[in-house]
Structure 1
Amino acid sequence: MTSDSTATHPTALREVFVGGPFLQLVDPKTGLMSDSDRLKFHRLIEHFEQRGATVYNAHRREAWGAEFLTAPEATKRDYLEISRSDLFIAFPGVPASAGTHVEIGWASALRKPMVLMLEKEQKHTFLVTGLENQANVEFIWFADPTEIYAHLDTAVERVLARSGERTTIG
């Protein structure tokens, strides 16, 4: 099922954390993320909310850059939200987002099912691309972010099945 579906379906996903580069995407002149960067995250958030999940996301929580939390508060909230989530999904970023990589480490240590979306034709750190040997992770490789949605539900179902969760998500 694609993200364009508006039907309500039962889901094993109660809570999802959506991560990705943030500070490096905020324009220093406007103090905000660009519309295209916002849309990439908004569409992913909406995808899971349409399936009944509560979605945690720092970008939206911090008004796309207009209302940054302090470093200690953002760190605490992200860790707690990842801890309570049924799924961690993120764009590791190109160039790599240090904060997102910390979140990937937390999710891995917390044994959270993960879906990571990696840009084709880009170099990604071996500690991310080799993560499948240490964690329950699926990769979606894409050239254009719209390509993600053809594979997203299947990738989520696979990581949930491996973690013992119910696999119906949409």
Structure 2
Amino acid sequence: MNQRVFLAAPFKQLLNQNNRVNTETTQSLQQVMQVLEDKGMFVDNAHKRENWGLEMMTPTQCTDADFNSIKNCDVLMAFPGSPASPGTHIEIGWASAFHKKIILLLKNDVDYAYLIRGLGVIGDVEYIYYENMNSCLSQISNVIDNYLQHNKVLSK
């Protein structure tokens, strides 16, 4: 059975005047999704689900969809945002409350919220600090390989 990943990232704050997620963010998220899918993981992502801003769900719809996706995922991977994304922080909180594996993608030299930086003290949190997207993708690949290897051992 494929491991399920919910990939969280800022959304509304990244919409351009055409109500589309900006190109850089779209490409970055697609690259992360490709790495995860190449590892055999199923990826759930609101940006893709809502066609990168063109098919926005209502607040009730997206809250229900994200909450249930996080409830049913194995891993939450998140770009918390800078400035902080309120929605992404709520999703990280849900994952923490559900005792999910959390992988936080933190750009070097960004001052993230204390509760993001300290979350590992209460949960299964792995921090990836990166300089650029290439280093982020490489580290994601390594972390996911380790995660999958560990889960394979546990499931035997």
TM-score between both structures, scaled by the size of structure 2:
0.91
Which amino acid is the alignment partner of residue 166 of structure 1? K
Which amino acid is the alignment partner of residue 132 of structure 1? G
Q: Displaced runs of 4+ in structure 1, greater than 4 A?
A: 157-161
| Alpha-carbon displacement from aligned partner over 1:136-165 (angstroms, at most 9, x marks no partner) | 01111112122112211333355667xx72
The match for 2:72 is 84
Return closer, same or farther for 1:13/1:141 CA change in 2, 3 Å cut-off.
farther
Q: 2:82 aligns to what SS in structure 1?
A: coil
Of the two structures, which has the highest relative contact order with CA contacts closer than 8 Å and spacing of 6 or more?
Answer: 1
Q: For the residues of structure 2 that align with 1:132 and 1:160, how far apart are their CA atoms?
A: 20
The match for 1:98 is 86
Residue 66, structure 1, aligned to residue 61, structure 2: no
Equivalent residue in structure 1 for 2:7, among 18, 26, 30: 18
Equivalent residue in structure 1 for 2:34, among 46, 50, 53: 46
Aligned residues: 154
Q: For the residues of structure 2 that align with 1:88 and 1:101, how far apart are their CA atoms?
A: 12
Return closer, same or farther for 1:160/1:109 CA change in 2, 3 Å cut-off.
farther
How far does residue 33 in structure 1 lie from its aligned partner after superposition? 1.2
| Alpha-carbon displacement from aligned partner over 1:51-80 (angstroms, at most 9, x marks no partner) | 222110000000111111000110000011
Which amino acid is the alignment partner of residue 154 of structure 1? N
The match for 1:165 is 151
TM-score between both structures, scaled by the size of structure 1:
0.84
Q: For the residues of structure 1 that align with 2:98 and 2:134, how far apart are their CA atoms?
A: 29
Aligned-residue Cα RMSD (Å) equals 1.9
In structure 2, list runs of 5 or more residues that go unmatched: none
Which amino acid is the alignment partner of residue 54 of structure 1? F
How far does residue 13 in structure 1 lie from its aligned partner after superposition? 4.7
Contact 2:36 2:141 in 1 (8 A): no
Q: 2:77 aligns to what SS in structure 1?
A: strand
Q: Which of the pair is proportionally richer in helix?
A: 2
Contact 1:26 1:33 in 2 (8 A): yes
Equivalent residue in structure 1 for 2:111, among 123, 136, 158: 123
Q: 2:152 aligns to what SS in structure 1?
A: coil
Q: For the residues of structure 2 that align with 1:14 and 1:157, how far apart are their CA atoms?
A: 12
Q: 1:132 aligns to what SS in structure 2?
A: helix
The match for 2:99 is 111
Q: For the residues of structure 2 that align with 1:158 and 1:90, how far apart are their CA atoms?
A: 18
In structure 1, list runs of 5 or more residues that go unmatched: 1-11
Contact 2:31 2:137 in 1 (8 A): no
